[in-house]
């Protein structure tokens, strides 16, 4: 059961914020494959306009800081 920090299992009491994000994102099961290398945020032409880079969002999400974003 489960499958890592971004498991897309049905909601339970112990479901993490990262699990909720994965469940609510189209294709969210692939979020578990992110290596947080920074390529997507570094190569995105909208990068300078972002309040939080994708790498920072993953760090906040995995830390359970959903209300800070």
Per-residue tens of pLDDT for the chain, all 69 residues: 444 455 444 444 567 888 888 899 898 888 888 888 888 888 888 888 988 888 888 888 888 776 655
Do 69 and 57 form a contact (C-beta atoms < 8 A)? yes
Q: By C-alpha distance, which of 9, 8, 54, 64 is closest to 34?
A: 54
Q: Given this model, what pLDDT does residue 11 score? A: 45
């Amino acid at each position: 059961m489960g499958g890592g920090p971004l498991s897309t299992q049905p909601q339970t009491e112990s479901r993490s914020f990262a699990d909720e994000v994965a469940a609510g994102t189209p294709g969210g099961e692939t979020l578990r494959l992110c290596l947080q290398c920074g390529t997507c945020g570094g190569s995105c032409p909208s990068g300078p306009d972002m309040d939080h880079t994708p790498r920072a969002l993953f760090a906040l999400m995995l830390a359970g800081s959903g209300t800070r974003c």
